[in-house]
Structure 1
Amino acid sequence: MIFTVEATETAVHSARHRVSAAIRWWGVPVDEELCFNLELVTSELLTNGLLHARGPMTAEVALVYDLIIVSVLDRSPKLPQPRSAQADDECGRGLALIEELCLIQGSETAPGGKRCWAVLPVKAADGRAAETGQAEAQDNESNLDQAHWSLSLAGRNLLESISPPS
């Protein structure tokens, strides 16, 4: 599903509910936690576009296997940069929240701006998360460009199950 979102707080609020409604309409087994996480991630992606790109955005949600992919295309070519937020700061936590809730998240330049995206796992009908394994994260992984994307432990496990390290 692809739709345009105006750069207003009201439009962001409506869009987050539109995304979760689409997932339910598709018959995805959505529990309260998944719905909350999906709406929060969608809201954070759109709010970043609202604050930094200032113009209409294109939102997309897709279901691929047992993964929900949410992406937002906005008019700013500047990629988001994580920053440290203090306990009483009202801004600066969005990317950290997205990274915590998603398997994989990232951003890339696109014609006319940038695309920010996040991948969430679908919960199985019995409430168990999609199988991702319990491998421990290794601190000395390759030095990847963390400003453009990040990979959670669950995301790393997913990728390793698809393409085991040689």
Structure 2
Amino acid sequence: MSPRHARISVSTLPGQVAGVRDQVVRQVGAWGVPFDDDTEEIIRLVPSELVTNAVVHAGGEVTVALYHHPGHLVIDVLDDSPTPPIHRTAETWEECGRGLELVDALAVSTGWEPTKSGKSVWALLKVPASAPEPAQRATALRQFFTRQAPTRALRALAVASAS
């Protein structure tokens, strides 16, 4: 299966991060990735933290790029600032400063790279493998029942004959 990708433009107006989280979850779900509540929460939290950092610290245009290959999801946030993200340890009383630590804890790997117009900050997540495409699922079920039908029919016939 070839990798899938999508791009989401982010409005830098206050309060827009929640909408981005929802769009990311909807897109990943549309790709057929089966996820439980924990996986969904991770898929919500990681772009939320990365986009919030881009909006607060970089300003300018922000884009979320998603790349999915069965079992893996890359969430890549691009912004206009060449300044690298800063990992810091927040004090217990501080309300901010834990986002990148949290992303690091939830992701398989993370990183950042300079781009022509700023930077890319990304996280690689492990996600459940995609469910088969509907056509593949129908073909697999048809093959299963075609192979199984004679045996089932013979068993049903044997039970009916014994009665």
TM superposition score normalised by structure 2? 0.73
Match of 1:70 among 63, 66, 75: 75
Match of 1:30 among 35, 38, 45: 35
List aligned pairs for 1:140-151, cutoff 5 A.
Answer: none
| CA distance, structure 1, for counterparts of residue 55 and residue 12 of structure 2 | 5
What is the aligned residue count? 125
Tell me, yes or no, if structure 1 residue 100 matches structure 2 residue 105. yes
Structure 2: stretches of 5+ with no match in the other structure: 1-5, 131-163
8 Å CA contact 1:4–1:59 kept in 2: the answer is yes
8 Å CA contact 1:57–1:75 kept in 2: the answer is yes
Match of 1:50 among 51, 55, 77: 55
Give 1 or 2: higher helix fraction. 2
- What amino acid maps onto 2:123 in structure 1? A
Tell which structure's C-alpha radius of gyration is larger. Answer: 2
SS in 2 for 1:116: strand
CA-based RMSD of the aligned residues comes to 1.3
Structure 1: stretches of 5+ with no match in the other structure: 126-166
| CA distance, structure 1, for counterparts of residue 38 and residue 30 of structure 2 | 17
| CA distance, structure 1, for counterparts of residue 52 and residue 10 of structure 2 | 11
Residue 124 of structure 1: CA displacement?
5.5
8 Å CA contact 1:99–1:105 kept in 2: the answer is yes
